[in-house]
Amino acid sequence: MPTQASDDAFAEVKARVDLVKVVSEHVRLTRRNKDFWGLCPFHQEDSPSFKVNPQMQSWYCFGCERSGDVFTFVELIEKTDKRGALQMLAERAGVELKKLSPEQRERVDVRKRVLDMLKLAAQYYEYVLWKTPAGEPGRRLLESRRVSEETARRFQLGYAPAGRGFAEYLRAKKRSLSDAQEAGLMRRDGSDFFAERLVIPIRDERGQTLAFTARTVRQDEQRKYINSPETPAYIKGRVIFGLDLARDEIARRGHGVLMEGQFDVITGHQFGVSNAVASSGTALTEEQVRLLKRFTDELLLVFDSDRAGRTAMRKAVTLASTFGMRTRVASLPDAKDPDEFLRAAGPDAAQRWEELVSRAPSGFEAGMEEDSAGLNPSNPNQVELVAGRLREWIRQFPEGLREGYAEAAERHTGISRHLLLRDPEPAPPPRPRTNGFGARTTGKKVTAGSYLVQLLAVRPGAFGLVRTKLTPQELEQDDRSIYVRMLESYERGGASGLEADLAGYPPEEQDLIRRAWAAPPPNVDDEVALELAARIRLEHMKGMHSGIIRELSEAERGRDSEKVARLEAEARELARAITDMERRGWTSRAQ
C-alpha cells in the first residue's frame, strides 16, 4: 500500500499532532521540569513511571519498559495496528490520506457527520431540560430520583420534548434531517425517536457522545428505556458507560466499580462513588473488558441479587479473569440495586460504601460461597453435589488459577482439592446446571418456586389446589423438574405418593425433599401454597412482559409497524393483568 502508509503520510501526521495532548486523553499527566509524568496505561502501578518528552515527542515507561512515539502509543492504547493508528491520527489532524477507497472515504464521512449530529443533539436536549418549560417532566424525574443539577450536567443529561422539536431546531440551524435519521435520532416522519424521555448520552472514554439511552417520563409507557440503534458511530458492546468521568478516579482508587444500570452509575457519582461505570446495552463483552483493562486490573462488581444478576456476575468474573483482571463482588444489604442503596444511606453513603468495598470477597470466593452454602459435610450426597458445582466453577477459570482456587475451596468446605480438580467422569451425561437449592434455602433469598417445592414436600395434599392454579411452565427451570416429578407422584398415589416414590428420585432431589422434611419452611398451609402459586405466576407474566418489550424494541427498530402494533396490544393486555394481580395483594404476603 504505497501512498496511504508512506513515510510522508506518517511524517505529515506526526508534525500536526501533539503527543502530550494525545496521551493526556488517556493518562493524567503532571509536568515535572520539561517532561510530563503519569501512571502507565500499559501496566498496573501506583506511582507514575510513565514519562512523555514533549521535545522529542516520545514516551517511555520505566516500569514495563515500553516506549515509542505517538503512533506506537495509539497502536497500543487503541489496540490497533500501525495503519489503524495512522488513520485515526490523520483524521484528528485533518490530514487527508490518499488512496482511501470511495467506500472507506464514505464511511469516514458518515461517521463524522453522525458524531457531529449526536453532539448537537446532546446540547439541544440539555438545553431543553434546564432552560425551557418543556423540560419540566425531565426535571421532575431527576428530582424524584434526587439527582442534582450538578451531577446531571456532568453526564450531560437532557430531555427530548414531545413532537418534532429537534427537527424544527435542525431546520432553524439549516442542518440535514437525514443525518439525524442516520444517527438514530429521528424517525422518517420527523418525530423525535426519544420524545418524552429523559435522555442519557452514552459516551466513549474520551467523552465523545456515541449514542443515547432514554428513560420515559410517562406512566403509561411500556418501554421504560430505549436505546439508540447501532449506527456508523455506535456498536453495541464496545462502550463502557461513565468511563470518561470515572477514569481518573479508577486510576486513583486502583479499581473500577462495574454496575448494571446507567442510573446506578449516575447516582454512584453523585454519592462519591466516582469510579463507577456500567456495561452499556449488553451483558459484559470481551471488548468492554479489554477497554476496562486499559485503566485498571481490578473490578468491583455490583450486580442485582436476583438469579439473572448472579448469572451475569459469574460470567463477568470469569470473563475478566481470562483477561488477567481481578474481581471482587459486593452484595448490597436490603437494597435491590446500588441506586436504592446509596439513596437510602443518604449522608452516610460514602462511609457505608467503603464498608461494603472492604468486605467484598473475590469473584471466585463469591461463587464458591454461593455454591457451598448450607453444606453439611457429614452428608455424602451433599458433599458430592457441592463438589460437582465447585469443580464446574473452578473449571471456568484460566488453568493457572485453578490449583490455588481448589486449595481455597478445600479450606472453605473441607472437600479435598484433588476431588475438586479431578476431571469429571465420562458418565453420567451433563445435567443442566442449577444454582443449587441448598444455596437458596439456607441463604437469605428464598424464591417462591423453591419455597413452594419445600412446602409441597411437607404437605403434598396442597397439590390438589396448586395444580389448578399453576402450570409447570410457569416455574423457573431449576424448580420445574422436581415439581413435575412430585406432581406425578401425587397424581399416582395421592398424599402418600411422594413417600412411596421417593427412592426412585434422583439423589439430588431426594436430598432436597428429605431436607425439607427435616427442616420445614416457616408456614405450611394451603393458603400460603396458593399465594406462592400466584406469585410464581406473576413473576412468569412479568418475565413474558419484558420479553415482549424487548421484541417490541427490535420490531420498532426494524420499522415493522404491523408487528409493533400486535406486540403493543399484547404488552398492554399483559400489563393490565399484572396490575390486576398486584392490586389483589398477592405479592406482599407469604414472605
Which positions touch Zn ion (CB under 5 A)? 40, 42-43, 61, 63-64
User: Within 13 Å of residue 418, how many CA atoms lie on the same side as its CB?
Assistant: 0
Shortest distance, position 49 Cβ to Zn ion, whole Å: 6
Give the three cell numbers for residue 247: 477514569
Nearer to Zn ion, 79 or 492 (CB): 79
Q: Is residue 200 a contact partner of residue 152, using CB atoms and an 8 Å limit?
A: no
Query: How far is the C-alpha of 450 from the C-alpha of 100, rounded, in Å?
Result: 61
Nearest to Zn ion of 61, 332 (CB atom): 61
Residue 280 to residue 495: CA distance in whole angstroms: 50
Residues 6+ apart with CB under 8 A from 376: 382
Nearer to Zn ion, 66 or 111 (CB): 66
Contact 286, 315 (CB under 8 A): no
C-beta neighbour count of 529 within 10 angstroms? 25
Question: Could you tell me the smallest distance in angstroms from the CB atom of residue 242 to Zn ion?
Answer: 25
Whether a cis peptide bond, with omega within 30° of 0, leads into 338 is no
Q: Tell me how far, at minimum, the Cβ of 92 lies from Zn ion, in Å.
A: 24
Shortest separation between residue 43's beta carbon and Zn ion, angstroms: 4
Q: How far is the CB of 33 from Zn ion (least distance, A)?
A: 20
Closest CA to 245 of 261, 265, 227, 229: 265
Choice between 45 and 340, CB closer to Zn ion: 45
Q: How far is CA 393 from the centre of its chain?
A: 21
Query: Which helix (H) or strand (E) is 108 found in, with range?
Result: helix 102-131
The smaller minimum CB distance to Zn ion, of residues 42 and 505, is found at: 42
Please say which residue, 50 or 437, places its beta carbon nearer to Zn ion: 50
- Minimum CB–partner distance for residue 54 and Zn ion (Å): 19
Nearer CB in complex with Zn ion: 64/235: 64
Please state the closest distance from residue 30 (CB atom) to Zn ion, in A.
Answer: 16
Task: Report in angstroms how near the CB of residue 256 gets to Zn ion at its nearest.
Answer: 19
Distance CA 129, CA 138 (A): 6
Specify the residue, 61 or 538, whose C-beta has the smaller distance to Zn ion.
Answer: 61
Nearer to Zn ion, 40 or 567 (CB): 40
Strand, helix or coil for residue 401: helix
**List of long-range contacts for 396-401, beta carbons under 8 Å, 24+ apart:** 396/314, 396/318, 397/318, 397/321, 397/322, 397/364, 398/321, 398/322, 401/321, 401/364
Q: Half-sphere exposure of residue 162, counting CA atoms within 13 Å on the CB side?
A: 6
Residue 44: CB minimum distance to Zn ion, A: 9
- Provide the minimum distance between the beta carbon of 42 and Zn ion in the complex, in angstroms, as a whole number: 5
CA 521 to chain centre: 34
For Zn ion, the closer of residues 42 and 127 by Cβ is 42
Helix axis angle, 7-16 to 70-77, nearest 10°:
90
Q: Which is nearer to Zn ion, 44 or 80 (CB)?
A: 44
Q: What angle do CA 386, 392, 398 make, to 5 degrees?
A: 135
Strand partners, 158: 199
Q: Identify which of residues 61 and 349 has a Cβ nearer to Zn ion in the complex.
A: 61
* C-beta of residue 4 within 8 angstroms of C-beta of residue 98: yes
- Its sign, for the CA torsion 507, 509, 514, 518, is positive
Nearer to Zn ion, 61 or 330 (CB): 61
CA dist., res. 266 & res. 278, Å (int): 10
Residue 126's contacts (CB-CB under 8 Å, 6 or more residues apart) are: 153, 156, 157, 158
User: How big is the chain, counted in residues?
Assistant: 591
Q: Tell me how far, at minimum, the Cβ of 292 lies from Zn ion, in Å.
A: 17
- Amino acid identity at 118: L
Q: Which is nearer to Zn ion, 25 or 560 (CB)?
A: 25
Output 164-170 pairs: Cβ under 8 A, ≥24 positions apart. Answer: 164/190, 164/191, 164/192, 165/124, 165/128, 165/134, 165/192, 166/121, 166/124, 166/192, 167/191, 167/192, 169/124, 170/120
Minimum distance between the CB of residue 27 and Zn ion, rounded to whole angstroms?
10
Q: How far is the CB of 50 from Zn ion (least distance, A)?
A: 6
Name the residue nearer to Zn ion (CB basis): 62 or 323: 62
Residues with Cβ within 8 Å of residue 215, at least 6 apart in sequence? 141, 197, 198, 200, 224, 225, 263
Q: Please give the Cα distance from 208 to 518 (Å, whole number).
A: 60
Q: How far is the CB of 204 from Zn ion (least distance, A)?
A: 23
Query: Least distance in Å: CB of 296 to Zn ion?
Result: 14
